[in-house]
Structure 1
Amino acid sequence: MTGNTWQADPLTWGTGPRVLEVFLEPTCPYSMRAFGKLDALLEQAGADRITIKIRLQSQPWHLYSGVITRAIVAASTLAGGKETAKKVMAAVGAHREEFEFDHHCGGPNLDTTPNQILERMEAYSGVPLKAAFAIPDLDREVKWHCKYGRQNGIHVSPTFLIDGLVQADMSSGDEVSAWVRKLVG
């Protein structure tokens, strides 16, 4: 048996004692709105006061969600690790219509193949993904994200956990300052 030659970098930023876990689906507009606020949150709250962990929450009604989620995990195995994954995720969010179906069931993406999705992700992010995407046991890491979400009762995105507890009153529409108050007072 041979050991792994790859490692997925955890999508974790900050070193503080308060832990915010954010469950995000990469083509969900609400998830991407929350994702876009995470850097400001870390800056305003203080990287020494909070830790932010992105958990990928693939959802079947976003029909390319599984392909895109795997590609983001694959990006975390490349040089730059979590920052490379973050770059890929930001590229998907910035060009969401290129990765999603109209009304979750129609439109031009019906004729798009998974390889074309990967090519778009590479073009928008500048990150070569195909080799990492093809890592045979990469699904182990993708399954971890899925299992972790299920174990915590997560069904939709975005969902927020603070120190392991679901925060039903947190929303992607909240101001960053409201998140800061909730996390560090």
Structure 2
Amino acid sequence: MTAPSWTADPLVWGQGPQRFEVFLEPTCPFSGRALGKLWEFLDLADPERVSVLIRLQSQPWHMFSGLITRAILVASTTADGKEAARRVMEAIYANRKVFEFDDHATGPNRDATPDEILRRITNESGVAMEDAFDIPDLDREIKWHCKYAHQNGIHVSPTFMVNGLIAADLGGGDSLAAWAAKLD
């Protein structure tokens, strides 16, 4: 088997020994709330003490979830790596209506094509990904995120895992202090 010609930059910020993993669905408003707090949390908890890891949890009731998950991972293969992926995630959450169906089934996005969604992501985030979107074996990265979530019993987003254990009592609406209190 030949090595791929691309590398997905891991969605990891900080370099501390403690692991704060967050499983996010790319268009879920609750995941968006959690993402918006991660960088402040990292500063509070100290990037030398904790590593924040984002895991993507695609959910089929969010109709463009698979497409958008792929777009985030594609962004991570660009020269800006995880920072490009971060810009894509932030743009999607900030403009959710542009990427999501009303009530998970209706609205103007029913007429949108995958190429239109990709153009919207590029326009909103400033990350061009149309060429990289066609990476043939990018599926392995997507499948890794899915498999990892399933192996850990993750079914909803956001879900938090601290040092390898699910923190079922944590949510995106909790304070940063509550998140930090879960660390050793």
- Shorter-chain TM band: over 0.9
Which residue of 2 is the match for residue 54 of structure 1? 54
Which residue of 2 is the match for residue 19 of structure 1? 19
User: Helix, strand or coil: the match of 1:10?
Assistant: coil
State whether structure 2 residue 176 is matched by structure 1 residue 181: no
Which residue of 1 is the match for residue 39 of structure 2? 39
Which residue of 2 is the match for residue 169 of structure 1? 169
Which residue identity does 1:76 align to in structure 2? S
Q: CA deviation at 1:136?
A: 0.5
Which residue of 1 is the match for residue 68 of structure 2? 68
How far apart, CA to CA, are the structure 2 residues paired with 1:75 and 1:132? 8
How far apart, CA to CA, are the structure 2 residues paired with 1:3 and 1:51? 27
Q: Give the TM-score of the pair, scaled to structure 1.
A: 0.97
Which residue of 1 is the match for residue 77 of structure 2? 77
For structure 1, which segment, 12-21 or 23-32, has the greater mean C-alpha deviation from structure 2 after superposition? 12-21
How far apart, CA to CA, are the structure 2 residues paired with 1:73 and 1:8? 7
Which residue of 2 is the match for residue 129 of structure 1? 129
Q: CA deviation at 1:3?
A: 2.7
Which residue of 1 is the match for residue 120 of structure 2? 120
Which residue identity does 2:84 align to in structure 1? T
Which residue of 2 is the match for residue 142 of structure 1? 142
User: Helix, strand or coil: the match of 1:53?
Assistant: strand
Which residue identity does 1:46 align to in structure 2? D
For structure 1, which segment, 7-16 or 173-182, has the greater mean C-alpha deviation from structure 2 after superposition? 173-182
How far apart, CA to CA, are the structure 1 residues paired with 2:79 and 2:163? 30
C-alpha distance after superposition, 1:67-104 (max 9, x if no partner):
00000000000011111100111000010000000000
How far apart, CA to CA, are the structure 2 residues paired with 1:182 and 1:140? 32
How far apart, CA to CA, are the structure 2 residues paired with 1:33 and 1:110? 25
For structure 1, which segment, 173-182 or 89-98, has the greater mean C-alpha deviation from structure 2 after superposition? 173-182
The alignment-based identity, stated in percent, is: 60
How far apart, CA to CA, are the structure 2 residues paired with 1:103 and 1:174? 25
Which residue identity does 1:156 align to in structure 2? V
RMSD: 0.9
C-alpha distance after superposition, 1:40-74 (max 9, x if no partner):
00000100111110000000000000000000000
Q: How many residues align?
A: 184
Where does structure 2 lack aligned partners over 5 or more consecutive residues? none
How far apart, CA to CA, are the structure 2 residues paired with 1:100 and 1:55? 20
Which residue identity does 1:56 align to in structure 2? L
Which residue of 2 is the match for residue 152 of structure 1? 152
Where does structure 1 lack aligned partners over 5 or more consecutive residues? none
Q: CA deviation at 1:2?
A: 4.0
Q: Give the TM-score of the pair, scaled to structure 2.
A: 0.98
How far apart, CA to CA, are the structure 2 residues paired with 1:53 and 1:177? 18
